[in-house]
């Protein structure tokens, strides 16, 4: 663990990404305290006001404060990222562990299920499912989670295939330990490093997916604010109110970039072969 933190602390890009992620989480949690205005309250006297001292990021088509809406939108985007990745990880771990440990028919069935789901482009699969469901934040979370577990399942399966041949697993089997105990108490804790990386990199992917769905009008519906539906509203008046497109776009960009930098840093720090190659500026050595 000390070696991990030492390697991570040398990766400046990962530290910058982690700092941004932490600040975003604090701002999202404290949105009711930080928001200068009610994000849902219109003001017909302030319609499409440009950024000013009163409204730092301007107002939208019905006079709502964009900064307040973006702070509340951060709560939605981060919640979707964490919950949907949690659902995907739980499914991926369960199926991947079963496939890797039992092998044979179970392994074949799980891998064929993975191949079947991967045949369908994920975004179009999401559109098809949401066409029959009422869009809401919980629906978005569950649907993104149910369509994003395949990568985790493959990672866990690969780790289990390697770890189940190790001495401590063979010893546990020889003393009569059950499969459930061996999987969850002995193998899984040693297979969590790539899963942790996959989770960190999965959060920005989920945020992007939710933003794309909201931009298309299939995500969280107004008046609830998300970065995606703020962008959707801004495209109608982009020539008059550039701030409705620029600021949510930058928020999505920096959030996704920060999570990716943090995930890459965690991956490098967890891999002993890469610890010595972390460069001066946080990149890998050549």
* Long-range CB contact pairs, 47-50, < 8 A, 24+: 48/237, 48/240, 48/241, 50/241, 50/243
Report how far apart, in Å, the C-alpha atoms of 53 and of each of 57, 58, 59, 199, 249 are: 9, 9, 12, 39, 22
The pLDDT assigned to 284 comes to: 44
**Contact at 8 Å (CB) between 83 and 143?**
no
pLDDT digits (tens, 9 = 90+) for 98-114: 999 988 899 999 999 99
The pLDDT assigned to 59 comes to: 92
- Sequence-distant (6+) residues with CB within 8 A of 168 are 186
Instruction: Name the residue among 77, 36, 78, 29 with its Cα closest to residue 58.
Output: 36
Per-domain residue ranges of the chain: 2-31+78-275
Largest CA-CA distance found in the chain, in angstroms, rounded: 77
123-140 average pLDDT score: 81
pLDDT digits (tens, 9 = 90+) for 167-186: 888 888 787 777 788 888 88
Q: State both tokens at 102.
A: 């039992």
In terms of C-beta density within 10 A (0-12 exposed, 13-18 middle, 19 or more buried), how is residue 79 classed? middle
The pLDDT assigned to 280 comes to: 36
pLDDT digits (tens, 9 = 90+) for 29-53: 999 999 999 998 888 888 999 999 9
Name the fold adopted by 2-31+78-275: MetI-like fold (1.10.3720)
**Contact at 8 Å (CB) between 195 and 89?**
yes
Helix, strand, coil distribution of the chain in percent, nearest 5: 70, 0, 25
Residues present in the chain in total:
286
The pLDDT assigned to 222 comes to: 72
């Amino acid at each position: 663990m000390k070696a991990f933190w030492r390697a991570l602390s040398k990766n400046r890009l990962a530290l910058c990404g982690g700092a941004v992620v932490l600040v975003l989480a604090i701002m999202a949690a404290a949105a009711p305290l930080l928001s200068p205005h009610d994000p849902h309250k219109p003001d017909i006297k302030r319609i499409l006001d440009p950024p000013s001292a009163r409204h730092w990021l301007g107002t939208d088509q019905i006079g709502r404060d964009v900064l307040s809406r973006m702070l509340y939108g951060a709560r939605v985007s981060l919640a979707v990222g964490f919950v949907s990745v949690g659902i995907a990880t739980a499914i991926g771990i369960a199926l991947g562990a079963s496939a890797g440990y039992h092998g044979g028919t179970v392994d074949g069935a799980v891998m064929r299920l993975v191949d079947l789901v991967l045949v369908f482009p994920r975004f179009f699969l999401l559109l098809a499912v949401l066409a029959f469901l009422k869009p809401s934040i919980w629906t978005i979370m569950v649907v993104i989670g149910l369509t994003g577990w395949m990568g985790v399942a493959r990672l866990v399966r690969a780790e289990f295939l390697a770890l189940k041949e190790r001495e401590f697993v063979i010893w546990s089997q020889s003393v009569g330990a059950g499969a459930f105990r061996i999987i969850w108490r002995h193998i899984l804790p040693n297979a969590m490093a790539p899963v942790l990386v996959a989770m960190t990199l999965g959060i920005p992917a989920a945020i992007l997916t939710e933003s794309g769905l909201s931009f298309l009008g299939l995500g969280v519906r107004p008046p609830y604010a998300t970065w995606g539906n703020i962008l959707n509203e801004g495209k109608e008046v982009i020539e008059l109110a550039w701030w409705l497109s620029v600021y949510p776009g930058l928020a999505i960009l920096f959030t996704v970039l920060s999570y990716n930098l943090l995930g890459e840093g965690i991956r490098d720090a967890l891999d002993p072969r890469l610890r010595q190659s972390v460069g001066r500026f946080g990149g890998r050595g050549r």
